[in-house]
Structure 1
Amino acid sequence: MSTKEMEFKCILFALCYFHAVVAERRKFGAQGWNRPYPFNNGDLTISINVLYNYLEANPTVPWDDLRYLFGEIMYGGHITDDWDRRLCRTYLSEYVQPEMLDGEVHLAPGFLIPPSLDYKGYHQYVDENLPPESPYLYGLHPNAEIGFLTLTSEQLFRTVLEMQPKESDAAGGSGVSREEKVQSVLEEILEKLPEPFNMVEIMAKAEEKTPFVVVAFQECERMNILTQEMRRSLKELDLGLKGELTITADMEELATALFYDSIPESWTRYAYPSLLSLGAWYADLLLRVRELDVWTTDFVLPATVWLAGFFNPQSFLTAIMQSMARKNEWPLDKMCLTVDVTKKYREEITAPPREGSFVHGLFMEGARWDVPSGAIADARLKELTPVVPVILIRAIPVDRLDTKNTYECPVYKTRMRGPTYVWTFNLKTKEKAAKWILAGVALLLQS
């Protein structure tokens, strides 16, 4: 038995709870962990051995060493994403701290670390005091469960749909064969597909190659590549359906995607990350083309920019820094972005700011933006991704950045998170940042 029996039991209990939380949090998908990790009982066993050895070898409890070993090596060894590493560290700093020895640390709302008991006593304590299973036990908002259950049911229905017979006469008794449905979707898309941007004309219009103009060029070029691939593949499939070309595997895949209202893989290669169905994705694509059309008419930045409308939002955010650096002759590598959430929404903004840019079209997951207090607040039930007001983004030298009372909020393109990371925005908070880290709060460019 350990010579520091009370400390050993106390930290061991918190460690077991921590293990349960990190392993079970995986079920909440990307809001739980950005990527799935293989946490297992071996991690817990090794951590207990490390805990025992460190308590025996040190006269006092080495809190920082223990947190580092558990969070960065034992469990952190599995973790490949920096935001997940931050989450793991935050759990340990909340659960493993000197105050736990006085019985003052809550592992979950209403669940204190118990005093020193025997094995049976711990079982009894857990049975009597552990609150019923809910997202609160992980530091998450109940909306996280709604989101995860909705996603699971959508996947289930999608699988059922894909298991339906694919023969022409079995199209659910709707009287429309599979080929006819594919043909009508194909014609509808081709009819609305915009003409490619004339790059020579656009380049001739731009007198000065400012960072924003370069972003516009890149976006138009990428949009052209995508729309050309769409036009080529759809015309090819059209000829195949008419019997003028042999149907290839690629054409078959495209037809299947059109039939199931999903985005064809040959298009996603050239497109931007999106979790929308084909119909919603195409409507979104047409909106993006319209935004680019307006912007490239005279290259004047819109009063407020739709950040989600870019293939590469990072390039626009970098352009804000570049133009500010050139204007003030500041070194670009010593600059960063500062973010101010305004009290206005898109319709209320009529003119661009003096410096930087207004951006709109962001959503918050895991919490909401409270306009009156100008800070992050708890989400309302069943509002999974509330809209964030227009944000003013400016570039400033790094040494002027105010990080007091802020939460470093990651911005992602979609709810998939992980590889769709865009930037980090420092948002004002009146509560501890740890609360929002555990709640998995992030900004999304697509709800």
Structure 2
Amino acid sequence: MYQYSLTWFIYLYLYSIAQSLKSDDIEERINNIVEHITLSIYKNVCRSLFEKDKLLFSLLLTVGIMQGKGRVDDQVWRFLLTGGIALDNPYPNPAPEWLSDKSWSEIVRASKLPNLDGFFDHVQKNVSKWKELYDSGKPHKDQLPDRWSGLGGIDRMVVIRCFRPDKMVPAVQDFIVDNMGQAYIEPPTFDLAGSYSDSNCCSPLIFVLSPGSDPTAGLLKFADDREMGGSKTQTISLGQGQGPLAAQMIDKAIKEGTWVVLQNCHLATSWMPALERICEETITPENTHPSFRLWLTSYPSDKFPVSILQNGLKMTNEPPKGIRANLLRSYLSHPISDPAFFGSSKKQVIWQKFLFGLTFFHALVQERRNFGPLGWNIPYEFNESDLRISMRQIQMFLDEYEEVPLEALTYLTGECNYGGRVTDDKDRRLLMSLLSIFFNHCENSSTSLIILPDKEICFLKKYCLFFQTYVNYTRSLPICADPCVFGLHSNADITKDNQETNQLLDGVLLTLPRQTGGGAKSPQEVVDELAEDILSKLPADFDIQIVLEKYPVTYEESMNTVLRQEIIRFNRLTHVVRVSLVNLRKALKGQIVMSTELENVFNSMLVGKVPAVWAAKSYPSLKPLGSYVTDLLTRLQFLQDWIDNGPSTVFWLSGFYFTQSFLTGVAQNFARKYTIPIDYIGFEFEAQETHMDEKPEDGAYVKGLFMEGARWDRENMVIGESFPKILFDSLPIIKLKPGEMSKFQHENLYVCPVYKTSARRGTLSTTGHSTNYVMSIELPSDKPQKHWVNRGVACLCQLDD
């Protein structure tokens, strides 16, 4: 939807010439025009960008201007976006207790940049000084140690990326302010009147919609303010058969000078070409009344006509961000703002508490999306209709029953209204856990906000019967809520910030050409060397025949079948990797034609991404290219050791391509040994304090899992709270003890889901589980299970680094 025309740009150019400060000095006059048009472009483009892309555009604008002045080293700029590309790091990490291997590898690679020569050597010798930067609350503001204190610009951002990637966004903002000014990190607020004043009768005004926003009510109010209300503004929601009616409305409005609002254009893709013809042929200056306006609303769609996007005036109006803003919008919008509705219940005290608890819950489930997979496995689009129907049901049930039917309201709100959108069973468990915080019996009332900070008096314990009291209380809440309000650990903020950094840098990468300059190696040389390195490390394919002879398929040992299936899968993957790299090197030398597929491999490797053709045959992975290749080689070695020396005492669970096949093999061995139907068999899980030298009589020892959202307390052998800044914790060796599920004891445990990658989500398979989901393990806990559910605690087979 981000489409702009040359005509649009020329209009801004001429407007800047007319409106910028005049001067008799030619150089000063040119500077005035340049400053005016730059700011004008920023404000006009930002008006049509989603919030997540505004800083990205500002960064691109800043760097683009600096590149035009020769103030950006392309090699450094590329490193900032990718972190460099290499397969291994020969230097040992000097501080593994706080410095991650990913960060250390980036520090080593950054030392090859022009202004950072000797960087990793200084870090090795001055670990304590750099730890101060790592521990700082504002590392992007602090002075760097010793001779690096004078480092600025993109070089300084590279250092911040290496040590504190979670602070890259504020570092980027500082960089923009230093080079462009404060105005370029303060995008203009939504201004319907301003957009209207910039429009004309022949340019459609387009609302680009986002989930949870509906500009219609505000537009109709604006129409009334402009004396265009009532019959002078006609609205129609597009859909099947509505196109001809919309065309008639437009034809009539063009002559009479009224307004037409076409809602949900994305739902009428077949009629979009007709709308395009109307805008090009019918809505012309000669035929159109000056007061006519065509308003369009649409979600982002590749079917929306490009010519309309380029010539129209685009606006985005996203729902408010933050708990406080969400609560205020709910209370200041219909129907809560209606006194007749707010004071309508026969049980006013309970009704108002329910109302506040429900609106808080509504804000909570929306804002948890900002925390990525920690918040929800799948980011659901909860909207105002979920809130409104839940309010109506609460109102009805309170009036019809003497006792509060809490179970019925919990079921309707959680399982039906909000839960109707939830497709992942672990997300459904979380939704009901969050709802139980608000819908519970407490001091003869229906709700209690136990998640508010302890230092605050629980507002809902007061019997306040005035609407304004609730609004004033909401305004007193912090603008930015602490993660504990969402039930999350404080580390969740780091996860959220890292996610924003990745989104920003990945977005910039998508906009860049692949060419490099500034004396660096050519893209062809970089990729060719990388391909040669990978090919030299990639072992030969497994010999399936030898494996079959050494590990024949037997009734007593299912692990032989698991091994055979694994090497077949890995052979398919390594074949694709090897062939694509060999052909790519040939294409770079001009020996064969560079196909589209090879070009995609080239472009992916150039920015350190796993090529799509590999991913199609690969196990799930979110690692960058260098880490992915290292991980693949480690998995291949794991299987080779199995082939050479027999199955290991402790299996590396994360090393399997298809983890479920291994679990099935363990269960099948037990079922066949004791002649028990495999459907009755499950696993108990026992954490081991020491390394195991012998295989268990039944089951298997496994390792390689990482816990996110919590840690494993090795002293008490239970789940514990995460340490500050430590986002993941390695689990000890776990014994999988197969047995009949009916005999298992499920007390003082947290049922912890295990996923293959940190994304957690995946395409739903026939089992109803995400394809990323492996199993659930029961871990001892001294806290209620709800506590860890709200924390978003899960185990991962691999990290993203």
Fold agreement, TM-score > 0.5: yes
Pair 1:125-2:473 in alignment:
yes
Which residues of 2 match residues 428-439 of structure 1 at below 5 A?
Answer: 428-439=780-791
Pair 1:276-2:623 in alignment:
yes
Which residues of 2 match residues 152-171 of structure 1 at below 5 A?
Answer: 152-167=500-515, 171=516
Equivalent residue, structure 2, for 1:58: 401
> Could you state the TM-score of these two structures normalised by the residue count of structure 1?
0.95
Cα distance, 1:428–1:79 mapped onto 2, change above 3 Å: same
Output the CA distance in 2 between the equivalents of 1:376 and 1:100.
Answer: 32
Equivalent residue, structure 2, for 1:407: 750
Which residues of 2 match residues 41-440 of structure 1 at below 5 A?
Answer: 41-99=384-442, 101=444, 106-110=450-454, 112=458, 113-117=460-464, 118-128=466-476, 133-167=481-515, 171-209=516-554, 210-298=557-645, 300-344=646-690, 348-419=691-762, 420-440=772-792
Cα distance, 1:216–1:100 mapped onto 2, change above 3 Å: farther
1:279-328 Cα offsets, whole Å, 9 max, x none, are 11001100000000011225x32121111101111111111111111111
Output the CA distance in 2 between the equivalents of 1:397 and 1:174.
Answer: 67
Q: Which moved more, 1:426-435 or 1:98-107?
A: 98-107
Output the CA distance in 1 between the equivalents of 2:469 and 2:428.
Answer: 34
Q: Which moved more, 1:378-387 or 1:235-244?
A: 235-244
The alignment partner of 1:359 has SS state of: strand
Tell me the CA shift for residue 142 of structure 1: 1.3
Q: Which moved more, 1:430-439 or 1:36-45?
A: 36-45
Preserved CA contact (<8 Å) 1:14 1:107: no
The alignment partner of 1:75 has SS state of: helix
Preserved CA contact (<8 Å) 1:63 1:96: yes
Cα distance, 1:252–1:22 mapped onto 2, change above 3 Å: same
1:156-196 Cα offsets, whole Å, 9 max, x none, are 223334433323xxx24243101111111111111111100
2:371 to 20, 28, 38: 28
Output the CA distance in 2 between the equivalents of 1:313 and 1:17.
Answer: 40
Tell me the CA shift for residue 232 of structure 1: 1.3
The alignment partner of 2:686 has SS state of: strand
Cα distance, 1:207–1:79 mapped onto 2, change above 3 Å: closer
Cα distance, 1:131–1:335 mapped onto 2, change above 3 Å: farther
Pair 1:445-2:793 in alignment:
no
The alignment partner of 2:736 has SS state of: strand
Preserved CA contact (<8 Å) 1:339 1:393: yes
Tell me the CA shift for residue 128 of structure 1: 4.5
**Identical positions, percent:** 35
Tell me the CA shift for residue 114 of structure 1: 3.6
After superposing on structure 2, the runs of 4+ consecutive aligned residues of structure 1 that deviate more than 4 Å are: 102-105, 127-132
Structure of greater Rg: 2
Output the CA distance in 1 between the equivalents of 2:370 and 2:444.
Answer: 31
Preserved CA contact (<8 Å) 2:357 2:448: no
Output the CA distance in 1 between the equivalents of 2:680 and 2:627.
Answer: 40
Output the CA distance in 1 between the equivalents of 2:499 and 2:519.
Answer: 27
Preserved CA contact (<8 Å) 2:448 2:461: no
Output the CA distance in 2 between the equivalents of 1:100 and 1:263.
Answer: 56
Q: Which moved more, 1:107-116 or 1:123-132?
A: 123-132
The structure, 1 or 2, with the larger RCO (C-alpha pairs under 8 Å, 6+ apart) is 1
Preserved CA contact (<8 Å) 1:10 1:101: no
1:326-378 Cα offsets, whole Å, 9 max, x none, are 1111111111011111223xxx3332223211111111001111011111111
Q: How many residues align?
A: 440
